[in-house]
C-alpha cells in the first residue's frame, strides 16, 4: 500500500431548481490549506457564486483524499473478490442506534468451515472489532453512528455474503 | 441555510485482482481534524486489511453540509441551463459552469440577447469581479493555480 495525499481539497456544490432537479459543480482548493482555511475559501467562493444563480444551494461537500499512485503495483491475490464480503453490525450508545462496516473480499480462512459464519474466535477478527469500538487514540477518535453516537458492541457474528457484479 | 452534518464520512476504496471495487465507509464526529481522521483511518485499516485479500487503493474524508429547509427557487429556475465563465492565464484555460443563471445577467439587445453575459452592466461586472477575486484561492485538480483573467461568459443550454 502506498497511499499518496491528493494535491487538493475537492469542493462539490449541489443546487436544485424549482422542480427539484439537481445540478452539481465542483472546484479544488490547495491541500496545504487547513480545514478552517479551506472552509473559509469555500464560503467565499460560494458567496460569490450564489448571486449568479436562481437555483438553491442544498448541499456542500469538502473532501480530502489519499489515493494509490502505484496501482496496480500491489496486485491482490487471485483469491481476492470484492463481491464476497461480511458486514459487521455495531450498536451505539443510544437505543436503536446502529451502524455497520463492510469488509470486502473477506479471507476464506476466516470463515468457519462448512458454514458462512465469520470465526469470531480468530484473533484477527477480535482485534478488528476491538479497534473499531475503540481505536485507543483518545476520546472522540473512534467510529460513531451517523448521528455521532459512540459504538458499544458488535451485535451479531458477521455472515459471508456475495453481491452482484458491478465492475471488473 | 447550510448546517453541518453530525459526522464526517471516511470512505475506503478496496480493489480486487479483477479491478472490481468496493467502498466501505464509517463515520467520525464532524469536528474531527483531518490529521486525527487520517490517524483513525490508519488504525482501523491496520486491523481491517488482515481480514481481506483485497487492497486499499483510496481513502476520502468527506465533510458535508446540508440545507434542511431550502428556499423555493423562483419560477423558471432551471438547473439544465448553465452560465459558462471562461478564464485564461497564458495558454491555460479553465471554465466554471453555474447552474440556473439569473436572466438579468445577460444582454437584452442584439444578436446575443439572452445569451452573452452583459459586462456593460456595472452590477453584472461587479458580480463577476467578485467571483474572479474569490477564485484566486482555487486551483485545478493537480494543484496548479487557477487562471485569473476573466475572458467571457455566456449561457449554455
ipTM of this complex prediction, to 2 decimal places: 0.93
Q: State the average pLDDT over residues B122-131.
A: 95
For the cut 80, the answer to whether the pLDDT of residue B109 exceeds it is yes
Would you call B6 and A74 a contact, using CB atoms and an 8 Å cutoff?
Answer: no
Going by pLDDT thresholds of 50, 70 and 90, the confidence category of residue A75 is confident
Would you call B49 and A168 a contact, using CB atoms and an 8 Å cutoff?
Answer: no
Find where cell 495558454 sits: B91
Look at residue B35 in the predicted model and tell me its pLDDT: 95
Interface probe for B, chosen from A6, A76, A139, A151 (most Cβ of B below 10 Å), is A76
Find where cell 469555500 sits: A42
pLDDT single digits (tens) A35-71 = 999 999 999 999 999 999 999 999 999 999 999 888 6
Identify the helix (H) or strand (E) that includes residue A85: strand A84-92
Look at residue A71 in the predicted model and tell me its pLDDT: 60
Distance from CA of B20 to the nearest CA of A (A): 4
The answer to whether residues B58 and A3 touch, using CB atoms and an 8 Å cutoff, is: yes
pLDDT single digits (tens) A3-16 = 999 999 999 999 99
For the cut 90, the answer to whether the pLDDT of residue B99 exceeds it is yes
For the beta sheet containing B82-89, the strands, ordered from the edge strand earlier in sequence to the opposite edge, are: B92-99, B82-89, B149-156
pLDDT single digits (tens) A127-148 = 999 999 999 998 889 999 999 9
For the cut 80, the answer to whether the pLDDT of residue A72 exceeds it is no
Amino acid at each position: 500500500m502506498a497511499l499518496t495525499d491528493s494535491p487538493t481539497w475537492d469542493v462539490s456544490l449541489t443546487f436544485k431548481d424549482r422542480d427539484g432537479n439537481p445540478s452539481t459543480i465542483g472546484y479544488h482548493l490547495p491541500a496545504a490549506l487547513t480545514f478552517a482555511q479551506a472552509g473559509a475559501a469555500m464560503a467565499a467562493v460560494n458567496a460569490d457564486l450564489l448571486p449568479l444563480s436562481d437555483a438553491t444551494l442544498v448541499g456542500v461537500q469538502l473532501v480530502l483524499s489519499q489515493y494509490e499512485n502505484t496501482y496496480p503495483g500491489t496486485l491482490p491475490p487471485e483469491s481476492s473478490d470484492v463481491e464476497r464480503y461480511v458486514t459487521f453490525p455495531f450498536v451505539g450508545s443510544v437505543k436503536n442506534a446502529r451502524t455497520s462496516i463492510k469488509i470486502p473480499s473477506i479471507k476464506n480462512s476466516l470463515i468457519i468451515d462448512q458454514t458462512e459464519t465469520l470465526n469470531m474466535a480468530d484473533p484477527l477478527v477480535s482485534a478488528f472489532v476491538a479497534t473499531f469500538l475503540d481505536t485507543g487514540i483518545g476520546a472522540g477518535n473512534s467510529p460513531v453512528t451517523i448521528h455521532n453516537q459512540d459504538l458499544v458492541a458488535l451485535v451479531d457474528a458477521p455472515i459471508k455474503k456475495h453481491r452482484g457484479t458491478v465492475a471488473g | 441555510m447550510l448546517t453541518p452534518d453530525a459526522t464526517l464520512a471516511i470512505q475506503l476504496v478496496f480493489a480486487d485482482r479483477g479491478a472490481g471495487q468496493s467502498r466501505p465507509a464509517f463515520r467520525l464526529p464532524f469536528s474531527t481534524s483531518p490529521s486525527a481522521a487520517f490517524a483513525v483511518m490508519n488504525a482501523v485499516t491496520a486491523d481491517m486489511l488482515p481480514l481481506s485479500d483485497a487492497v486499499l487503493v483510496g481513502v476520502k474524508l468527506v465533510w458535508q453540509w446540508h440545507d434542511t429547509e431550502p428556499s423555493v427557487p423562483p419560477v423558471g429556475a432551471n438547473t439544465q441551463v448553465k452560465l459558462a465563465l471562461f478564464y485564461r492565464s497564458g495558454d491555460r484555460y479553465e471554465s466554471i459552469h453555474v447552474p440556473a443563471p439569473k436572466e438579468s445577467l445577460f444582454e437584452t439587445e442584439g444578436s446575443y440577447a439572452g445569451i452573452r453575459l452583459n459586462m456593460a452592466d456595472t452590477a453584472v461586472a461587479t458580480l463577476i469581479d467578485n467571483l474572479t477575486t474569490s477564485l484566486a484561492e482555487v486551483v485545478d485538480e493537480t494543484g496548479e493555480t487557477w487562471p485569473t483573467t476573466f475572458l467571457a461568459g455566456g449561457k449554455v443550454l
